[in-house]
Structure 1
Amino acid sequence: MAHLFSEWNIRGLTLKNRIVMSPMCMYSCLEEDGKATSWHDIHYASRAVGQVGLIVVEATAIAPEGRISPRDLGIWEDGQIAGLQRIVSLVHERGSKIGIQLAHAGRKSEVEGTIFAPSAIPFQETSRTPQEMTVEQIRETVNAFAAGAKRAKEAGFDVIEIHAAHGYLINEFLSPLSNRRDDEYGGDEARRYRLLSEVIDAVRGVWDGPLFVRISANDYHPEGNTPEVYVRYAVKMKEQGVDLIDCSSGAVVPARIPVSPGYQVPYAAQIRSEAGIATGAVGLITEGPQAEQILQDGSADLIFIGRELLRDPYWPRTAAQQLGAKLQAPVQYERGWA
C-alpha cells in the first residue's frame, strides 16, 4: 500500500490516510459575527466526500480584533459554536476527521479599530501601526486561546492547531523582526517563545486531544528566525505536549521567497529529524508521487494540501490513480469513481 493511503495514529485518533487539507481562509461570513455559513458547510463536507483524511478548518479568530478580515470565522463567543458543530457533523458523516486552527492576526488584522502586536511596528510602510500589547492584554489573549479551545471541544473537533505562522500574532512574538520588547515576552529567544509556551499550556489545560502548531520555519531575512531556531522551539513544544509541527514559512515581514515544488519540505524534514517530533509538509505539493516520496523519505508524517484541494476537491482520488492505489469511493459515486 502507498504510504499516502496508510493510516496514521496520534493520541488515540486514527486518520484513514496521510492527506490533510491545510487551513485556508474563506472570508465568507455574511456579517461580522464570525459565524459559519452554508458556504463553509459545502466547502468542508465536499473535501470529506473526496476522501481527505483530516480537514483543518481555516484560521478561526479567538477574539474579534484577532480576525484577519471582517468576514473571518470566529470562536470568541458561544453563539459561534452551533455553526462549527454543523461542519463537524457533516465531515464526520462522510468518514473524515476534522481539526480547527485557532488564530489571532495581530498587526496583520484588517478589521476596523485598534490592532495589536508585541511592538508598535507596522508590517510594511502602507500598513497601520499596531498598539504594543500590555502584559495584561497578553494574558487576556492567552485566556482567549484557552476559551477558544474549550469551544472547539464542545463543537466536536478531533484536532486543534495553534496558528503560530505567517506573520500573525504568535509569529510576531517569536520573531526578532517584529518583537522588540525587553520584558518577559521579548529580548531574547527564550522570552520571545513565552507567549507560544503559555498558549500551548493554556490549550493543553482544557484539551487532551491531538495538538498541532503551524510555524513559519524561516523568516527569509538575515536578522530573522531560521530553521535552526525552530528546531529548538520544536523541542520545547514536544516537551509541552504538542504532537505535530505543521511546517510552513515566511510572511512575518515582506520577503522574496524562493518558491518551487516542495520548497518547504526540507524544514519539515529537519525539524522531524533533529527535534524528534512528527511534522506535516506543506507548500506546492500537487502530485501523488511527489507526496508519496516525501513520506517514503521520512521527511514528514502528514501531507498538507492547500490550493490543489481548492482546484480539485477529490484530489485523493487523483493521487490514488497516479500511484496505482485503490481508494474506496463514496457509495453514491462508485459508478463514476473508477
Structure 2
Amino acid sequence: MRKISLKVAIFLLMLSLIGAPSLAAAKSIELKLSHATPRSSTWHQGAEKFANIIKEKTSAKYDIKIYPSDELSGGNQVAGIELLQTGVTDIHMQDALVWSAIAKKSILPCFPWLLPSYKDVDKVMQGEGGKALKKVISDVGVICLAIGENGYRQVVNNRNPIRKPSDMKGLKMRVPGSNVHVNLLKYIGADPITMNQSEVYTSLQQGTIDACENTLDLLFTQNTLEVVKYISLWNYSYDPIYFSVSTELWEKLSPEERDIFQKAATEAMAYQVKVTREKEQLLHKRLVEYKINVVNELLQDDLAAFKKAVSPIYKDYKNDFGEEIFKQFGYKF
C-alpha cells in the first residue's frame, strides 16, 4: 500500500512540474479594447477584426474583450482616452473630434472641406498626413498604430432644408466638444451647442436643439433619423478614427508581438474603412425608410458660399498648428 502511495506521490509531483506550466501557458491574457460607438457600427466590426487576428496570430495568448459605447468610462468619451493614457484600457478607438480635446492637432483632417473626396482622403491619410497624425497622437503618451474611418459628417435638423449658409442662421446645433467645429459653425451663423451624444436624441425630440451633425453610420445606429425632418449630405468634415494602444501594454510586448499588433491594427483598420464606405452607400439608399427631406448635394455656388464663410477658421489655427502640417494635407496659405 505504501509503495502504491509513493508511486502516486511521485506521479503527482511530476505532473506538478511538467503539467502546471503547460496549463498556465494555455491561459489567455485578457486585454480591454474600448470604443465609442454601438455594437452595430463599423467601428465594432473593425475592433472584432483586430481581436480575431490577434487571437489567431498569438495562438490565443491574448484574448481581447471589446467594450462598445465607452462603457468603461461611463459614456464619457474624453475620459475613455484618459483611461488609455493611464493603462487602465489596453486598446482604444476614438475619432478626431474627441481626440482634439487632448491632442489639438489631431482635428486637422476634420477642417471644413479640406478633404472633399475619398480620393483626397486616401492620398493624404496613407501618406505624409497620416504619418503626422500618428505622431500627434503618440506624443500624448499612447501608441497610435493605425487610422480608421468615421466618415464624412452630415447635418440633420428639424427647422428647414439646408442648402446655403443663410439656412443655418441661428440654428441651435449640437456639436461634439471640438473648438474648431464650434468656431466654424459660428462663422456660418449657426448657434453651436456642445453636449454628450447620449443627450442628442432626447434633445432633438424635445426641441432643446434644432440640429446636429454626424456620419450616416452613426445617424442610423444612434437612431437620430427617427427624430429629425431634414438631412443635407454636404460632406463638410471628414472624421478619422485613431486606433491606439497604451504605452504600458506596448512595453510589455516582445518585438515579435509588437509586429503582430502593428500588422493586425493596419489590417483591421483597412477592413474597417472598406466596410464603412460600403455601408455608407447602402445607407444613402435607406434614407427613404424615414419621413425625411433629403438634400443630396449642394449646388456649386452654394458650396462656394459655405467655403467662403468658414475660410477664416484656417487663419485662426495657422499659428497654433503651424503651416507645415497644413501643407501635409494639401492646404497652402
Greater fraction helix: 2
Same fold, TM-score > 0.5, yes or no: no
The TM-score bracket by the shorter chain reads under 0.3
Higher fraction of strand: 2
- Normalised by the length of structure 1, the TM-score is 0.24
Give TM-score, length-normalised by structure 2: 0.25
* Bigger-Rg structure (1/2): 2
